[in-house]
Every structure is written in structure tokens, then in C-alpha cells.
């Protein structure tokens, strides 16, 4: 009784489209050559992004459900450590490369390790050393992330699989860290297993996950433990739990499989066994799903940007042709007029910048306000936690006990708040950028129209700069929350006070400590979000300057070039006109073909 999610685009079509796009980009780059090096670089960048596009697929679930084994099965090799005790403690990113290597990044700016791998056993040893709770307890080595580059066909289409620490294992805050991480991924596979059935912790986790990502698929692992009849019962049960307990309303896609049998089948290259294991269906589904997803987002953006670049060159060519054909006096006076017009545009440019600066400042004010609110919220939360602990204990708990309790609660609370605030700010950022992209589009259109009107060249169809991408590589933040020790100077005097006064003294000392601790952690949240805002605006402002400058200089350069030709190389003028007209025709064809790809 699987529910079906329609996949509209098939994998072969996607590959075909990608190949055509790559070919057209190559043709455009060739056509432009060195004479338009600026646009050639833009197109080369687009091609690189097309080839490098990534799809981040996170594998999540409670500890010991078989996440790492499932990834090994997808890779066809036992690369990631798996065992009967909780294993994975650090997220591991696995992506395609012809050569096998492992890259280990550390917290606190320590130099990363880049290890070339000679044989596969070596990868297992390295991963064992860095990502497992056993060899790297409490992340004593300060690892932030491990990346494995591995030559397997399944990854060759740009999929990055991410193995994550199990939720509900030793560290409660893993759940919050996982949720924050998840919001940055493209899709997630949640691994459940036959043995044991979903726990309360898992169900709570599913609820939260559904709020953060829309593309989640479920895996019911370890079906080798049961018969086919029992499997139907188990599936019905899982659907019921997901619907009724986790409250999932959307269609649920569930794959029952045995990662262990799938891995064995891959190792002996047995397709029949692979199908029986259930892994085959999952792989086919993922390939199609990822192809469709990538096709619909980045792909369209690349086409749009390529068309935009080619249209700009067309305008430049049209201007040069027109200028070459015009009497020199007339073209010079038109150029003068255009320069006057662009000088007038300065004030409009300034007002766009002012509007952006205004939104930038308002967003920073919003962040400050949210942090203030968060301070109040954190203070009353932790005060309650500490007071409950003190009033519930018959004997007064030791400072160490209280510190341990706070240290456990700090990452859970702040991780959650960081995730929420990040999500709110990102939404606002995207809104601001989109709004200004529209305004800017209108302005660039105005510059183009002015050039077209003044020089009387044919109108070239509208195009827009498209969306600026805010998406970054997903990052997993580990071990950064402040849980400093409670200062206990003077605490020895406590014992001389009666119990009620003693409790008061302790509560007062703790409140002071909490205040400090909350300030430090909120500053951490504030700083990391502030960095994101500043980076985005810096990047956006510099892009804007570039776009405006390009649009203006494009016209001036094209006309000035023609004036030079007419003044100093009169005999080459008619050859130049022919050459430019030929290139212009070829550009029109390329634009038509690029736009046709969308319809395939
Ligand atoms: N029978 C059976 N056992 C499996 C299957 N998949 C995984 N296991 C076993 O389950 C145990 C846990 O597997 P792991 O892959 O380490 O699980 P994990 O979810 O990555 O665990 P953590 O990293 O600790 O969160 C190991 O002993 C695996 O051999 C399966 O399909 N069938
Ligand atoms: Mg694991």
C-alpha cells in the first residue's frame, strides 16, 4: 500500500537536457572567444556550476537503525563504521571523485587534514579514528566535519550523502543540531527499523522534521528479520504511527528494505538479490527524484543567466553595427546624449542603494530585538530549570550537579533557538533580496531601453538578472555552546546558614552565573547570524555595482569601439559590419536553442 509521489521528469531526459545545455554553453564560449572575455568568463562559470551541482541528501534516524549500513549499501562497500553500539558521532559527507580521499575539518581553526587513500580499508580506519564515539569520545579531537570522496556511479550525478549521528543517543542536543542541519539539506531519508518499532523520541523527532523539510522519505530497515507477511503488517503499523502519532498529513513514501542484504548483493554483483533486498527500488527512486529536483531549480537558473549574457552581447553588437553605419558626427552626439542620461541615472542608483541600506539596517535592528527577547526567554527558562531542581531536591544539590544539568540543557535550548531564528532571518533575507532584484531589473531595463532609443537599435527582448542564490553548503555546528563552571568563591560559607537562607544564597549565585552564561550563548547566536546577514549584503551590493556598471559600460564601449574604427580604420568598416552581423545571427540561434531546452 505504498503511496505514490509522481516523478514527472525521467533520468534520461534530465541527462539529455544537461548535455544539450553543456554543449550550448561550449558553443557560446567558442563563439565569443577572447573579444568578449567578460561574458566568456560568465558562461564558463555557469558551465562549472552545471557540472558541479550538488544535491544534499541527509540520512537520519535514531541510533542503531542502520543509517551507516544503508549508506554502505548505496556505495556498494563497507566504508562507514557500523556496529551494535552507537557509532557515528560526527557527520560524514560522501561525494563523488575519481580519486579516493578523506578530508577532515576541525573546530577552532585547526588546519584540516587531506588524506589520499591507497586502499579501501584505510578509509575505514581513518573514519573509525575521527567519526566514532569509541575512538573520538565527546569529540575530543575537535573534528567539525569529515568528507569522503569516492568513485561510485551512484554519486556521479552530484549527490552528496550525509551520514549523521543518531538522534536519541548519548547527547540530547544531537536532535536539535540534526534539525538545524536538516533545514539546509535538499532532502532526507529517515531510517526506521523493524527491531525495535519507533519510540516516543523518534515520533517527536518526525514531527519536528516535518516542520523543517518538505522532502522526507522513510526507510523501514532490517526486513531480513521478518517474513513477507509480517512485513505487510509492519508497514501498515509504520504508516499508522506516522499518520496518527506523528501527524504527517502529506503522502508518505516508505521503502522497506534490508541494508545488510543490499550491501551483500552489491558486493557479489547479484541484481536479483539486490531487488529482493528492496535497495534497488530505493536507488531507482532516488536517482529520478534527484534528477527532477535538480532540473527544476539550478538548471533553469543557469539557462536564464546564459540567455541574459548572450542578450547583452547582442545589444553590444547591435550598437556597434549601428554606430559603424552612422555618420561620425551623429554617433558622437548620440554618445554624448547617452552619457548625459547615465549621469542623471546616478541619483536613481543612489536611491536603490539607500533602499537596500534601509532594509539592511532594519534587519539588523530586528536581529537585536530578537536577541533581547531571547535573553528574557532564556533567563526565565533556565531559572525555572534550576529552581525546580533545587526545590525538588531534599538535600541541596551540589554545584557540580547543577552545573551538569545546565550543561546538558544549554545546547538543547540554544540549538533550538538558533535554528528558529536562523529560519526567520533567512526568510526575511530572501524577501529583501527578491524585492531589490525586481527593482534592479527595472533599472537595468531602463538603461537598456535608453541605449536602444538613443541609438535607434532594434529592441532586444526583456531579460532579468534572475535570483541571487543564498544557498550555501549545509554545515553542521558542533561543540560551541558556553557552559562555563559556576564560580563558587565564598560558597564554603553557605554551610553556616540555615537551610532556607542557604537555598537563597545558592539561587542568587546561580542567577548571576546564568545571566553570564545566557549572555555568552546569545552573543554566539547573534554573531553567527550577523555574519550571515553581512556576507549576504556585501555580496549583493557588490553584484549590484557590477550589474549597473556593466550595463552602462556595455553601451559606451560598443559605441566608442565603433568610433575608433571609423576614425582610424575606415577600410575595415564594411568587413567588421559583416562579421558582427554573422555573430549576431549565431547568437540569436543559440538563444533560441537555449530557450527550447526548457520545453524538452
Ligand atoms: N539484520 C540486519 N542488521 C542490520 C541491517 N542494517 C544494519 N544492521 C545492523 O544494525 C547495527 C547498527 O547499524 P549501523 O549502520 O551502525 O547503525 P547507525 O544507524 O549508523 O547507528 P549510529 O551510527 O550509532 O547512529 C549493526 O550491527 C548493523 O550490522 C539490516 O538490514 N539487517
Ligand atoms: Mg552510524
DSSP codes joined into one string, 520-586: HHHHHHHHHHHHHHHHHHHHHHHHHHHHHHHHHHHHHHHHHHHHHHHHH-GGGHHHHHHHHHHHHHH
Q: Which ligand is nearest to the CA of 82?
A: 1
Q: Partners of 259 in the beta sheet?
A: none
The DSSP letter of residue 248 is: -
Query: What sign does the CA torsion over 389, 395, 396, 399 have?
Result: negative
User: Cell match 526565565: residue?
Assistant: 380
Pairing of strands 187-193, 55-61: parallel
Q: Residue 309 CB: number of other CB atoms within 10 A?
A: 23
Which of 64, 175, 282 is the pocket-test mutation for ligand 1 (most atoms within 8 Å of CB)? 64
Measured CA to CA, the distance from residue 540 to residue 38 in angstroms comes to 19
How close is the Cα of 248 to the center of ligand 1, in Å?
26
Strands 55-61 and 216-221, bridge-based pairing: unpaired
Query: pLDDT tens across 83-107, in order?
Result: 766 666 778 899 988 889 999 988 7
Distance, CA 480 to ligand 2 centroid (Å)?
22
Protein residue whose Cα sits closest to atom 7 of ligand 1: 66
CA dist 585 and 456 (Å) reads 19
Taking only the tens place, the pLDDT of each residue in 366-425 is 999 999 999 999 999 988 887 787 777 766 677 777 778 888 888 888 888 888 898 899
Which atom in ligand 1 lies closest to the alpha carbon of residue 81? 16
Neighbours of 85 (CB within 10 A): 10
The x, y and z cell numbers of residue 32, run together, are 565569443
**Number of Cβ within a 10 Å radius of residue 535:** 12
- Give 548 Cα–ligand 1 centroid separation in angstroms: 56
What pLDDT does 554 receive? 80
3-state secondary structure of 135: coil
Residue whose CA lies nearest to ligand 1 atom number 30: 222
3-state secondary structure of 168: coil
Q: Return the ligand 1 atom nearest residue 65 CA.
A: 19
Ligand number nearest to the C-alpha of 167: 1
**Is 0.85 surpassed by the pTM of this model?**
no
The response to whether residue 174 sits with its C-beta less than 6 Å from ligand 1 reads no
Cis peptide before 353 (omega within 30 of 0): no
Q: Which residues of the chain have pLDDT under 70?
A: 1-17, 34-35, 52, 84-88, 168-174, 214, 293-298, 394-396, 461-481, 483-503, 570, 600
Check if 132 has its Cβ closer than 6 Å to any atom of ligand 1.
no
Relative to the CA of 84, which ligand 1 atom is closest?
Answer: 27
Return the ligand number nearest the Cα of 134.
Answer: 1
Cell of 453: 532609443
Amino acid at each position: 500500500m505504498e503511496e505514490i509521489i509522481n516523478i514527472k521528469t525521467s533520468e534520461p531526459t534530465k541527462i539529455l537536457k544537461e548535455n544539450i545545455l553543456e554543449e550550448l554553453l561550449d558553443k557560446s564560449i567558442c563563439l565569443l572567444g577572447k573579444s568578449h572575455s567578460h561574458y566568456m568568463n560568465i558562461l564558463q562559470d555557469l558551465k562549472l556550476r552545471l557540472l558541479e551541482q550538488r544535491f544534499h541528501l541527509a540520512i537520519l534516524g535514531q541510533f542503531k537503525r542502520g543509517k551507516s549500513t544503508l549508506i554502505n549499501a548505496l556505495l556498494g562497500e563497507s566504508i562507514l563504521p557500523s556496529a551494535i553500539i552507537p557509532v557515528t558521532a560526527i557527520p560524514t559527507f560522501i561525494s563523488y571523485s575519481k580519486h579516493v580521499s578523506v578530508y577532515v575539518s576541525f573546530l577552532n581553526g585547526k588546519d584540516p587534514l587531506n588524506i589520499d587513500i591507497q586502499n579501501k580499508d584505510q578509509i575505514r580506519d581513518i573514519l573509525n579514528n575521527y567519526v566514532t564515539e569509541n575512538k573520538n569520545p565527546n569529540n575530543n579531537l575537535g573534528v567539525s566535519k569529515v568528507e569522503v570522496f569516492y568513485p561510485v556511479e551512484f554519486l556521479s550525478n552530484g549527490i552528496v550523502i550525509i551520514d549523521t549521528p543518531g538522534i536519541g543517543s548519548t547527547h540530547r542536543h544531537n536532535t536539535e543540531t540534526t534539525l538545524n542541519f536538516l533545514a539546509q539539506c535538499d532532502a532526507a531519508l529517515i531510517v526506521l527499523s523493524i527491531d525495535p518499532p519507533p519510540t516516543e523520541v523518534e515520533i517527536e523527532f518526525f514531527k519536528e522534521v516535518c516542520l523543517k523539510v518538505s522532502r522526507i522519505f522513510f526507510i523501514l530497515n532490517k526486513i531480513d528479520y521478518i517474513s513477507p507477511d509480517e512485513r505487510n503488517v509492519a508497514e501498515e503499523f509504520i504508516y499508522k504511527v506516522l499518520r496518527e502519532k506523528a501527524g504527517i498529513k502529506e503522502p508518505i513514501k516508505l521503502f522497506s528494505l534490508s541494508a545488510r542484504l543490499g550491501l551483500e548483493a552489491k558486493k557479489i554483483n547479484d541484481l536479483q538479490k539486490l531487488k529482493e533486498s528492496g535497495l534497488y527500488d530505493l536507488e531507482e527512486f532516488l536517482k529520478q527524484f534527484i534528477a527532477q529536483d535538480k532540473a527544476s531549480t539550478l538548471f533553469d537558473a543557469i539557462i536564464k543567466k546564459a540567455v541574459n549574457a548572450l542578450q547583452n552581447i547582442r545589444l553590444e553588437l547591435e550598437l556597434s553595427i549601428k554606430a559603424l553605419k552612422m555618420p561620425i558626427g551623429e554617433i558622437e552626439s548620440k554618445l554624448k546624449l547617452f552619457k548625459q542620461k547615465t549621469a542623471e541615472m546616478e541619483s536613481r542608483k543612489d536611491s536603490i542603494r539607500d533602499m537596500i541600506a534601509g532594509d539592511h539596517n532594519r534587519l539588523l535592528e530586528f536581529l537585536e530585538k530578537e536577541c533581547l527577547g531571547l535573553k528574557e526567554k532564556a533567563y526565565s527558562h533556565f531559572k525555572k530549570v534550576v529552581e525546580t531542581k533545587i526545590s525538588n531536591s531534599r538535600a541541596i544539590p551540589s554545584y557540580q550537579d547543577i552545573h551538569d544539568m545546565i550543561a546538558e540543557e544549554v545546547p538543547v535550548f540554544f540549538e533550538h533557538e538558533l535554528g528558529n531564528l536562523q529560519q526567520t532571518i533567512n526568510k526575511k533575507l530572501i524577501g529583501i533580496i527578491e524585492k531589490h532584484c525586481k527593482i534592479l531589473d527595472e533599472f537595468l531595463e531602463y538603461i537598456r531601453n535608453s541605449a536602444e532609443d538613443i541609438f535607434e537599435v532594434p529592441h532586444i527582448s526583456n531579460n532579468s538578472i534572475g535570483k541571487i542564490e543564498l544557498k550555501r553548503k549545509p554545515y553542521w555546528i558542533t561543540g560551541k555552546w558556553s557552559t562555563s563552571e559556576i564560580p563558587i568563591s565564598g560558597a564554603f560559607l553557605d554551610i553556616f546558614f540555615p537551610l532556607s537562607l542557604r537555598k537563597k544564597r545558592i539561587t542568587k549565585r546561580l542567577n548571576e552565573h546564568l545571566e553570564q552564561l545566557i549572555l555568552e550563548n546569545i552573543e554566539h547566536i547573534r554573531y553567527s547570524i550577523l555574519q550571515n546577514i553581512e556576507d549576504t549584503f556585501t555580496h549583493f551590493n557588490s553584484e549590484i555595482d557590477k550589474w549597473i556598471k556593466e550595463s552602462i559600460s556595455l553601451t559606451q564601449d560598443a559605441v566608442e569601439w565603433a568610433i575608433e574604427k571609423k576614425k582610424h580604420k575606415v577600410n575595415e568598416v564594411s568587413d567588421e559590419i559583416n562579421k558582427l552581423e554573422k555573430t549576431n545571427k549565431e547568437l540569436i540561434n543559440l538563444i533560441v536553442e537555449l530557450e527550447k531546452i526548457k520545453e524538452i
